């Protein structure tokens, strides 16, 4: 995650487009955490709400947001969603929702 974003920054820097590279590097300061969360959830309507240059594609923005997973949130091994509440079972994180589903199956 974040590889395409880093690749784009390197490519822009290599071609001497420092303003574009600086724009990408400043996304951390310009996009609110609530938007980052929506981007991570693959909500493409965010592109209409944000004021970004036309050359910033959804794939680039999504890759950037995926690399910004919050420190407290973990990816569930079953549903693959980012969740903050859950348990670690056999070195795998299972969110509360999936855990309750499994518990009710017994």
> Tens of pLDDT along 32-85?
888 988 998 889 999 999 999 999 999 999 989 888 765 567 888 889 888 888
What pLDDT score was predicted for residue 45?
93
CA distance 63 to 6: 9
pLDDT at 14 over 80: yes
What is the DSSP pairing of strand 82-83 with strand 86-89? Answer: unpaired
What pLDDT score was predicted for residue 1?
54
Cα angle 20, 6, 84 (rounded to 5 degrees) comes to 115
């Amino acid at each position: 995650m974040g590889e395409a974003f880093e690749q784009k920054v390197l490519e822009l820097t290599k071609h001497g487009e420092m303003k574009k590279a600086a724009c990408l590097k400043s996304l951390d300061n310009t996009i609110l955490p609530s938007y980052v969360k929506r981007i991570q959830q693959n909500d493409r309507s965010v592109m209409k709400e944000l004021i970004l240059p036309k050359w910033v594609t959804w794939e680039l923005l999504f890759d950037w947001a995926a690399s910004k997973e919050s420190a407290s949130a973990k990816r569930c091994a079953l549903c693959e969603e980012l969740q903050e509440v859950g348990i670690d079972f056999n070195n795998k994180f299972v969110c509360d929702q999936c855990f309750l589903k499994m518990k009710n199956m017994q």
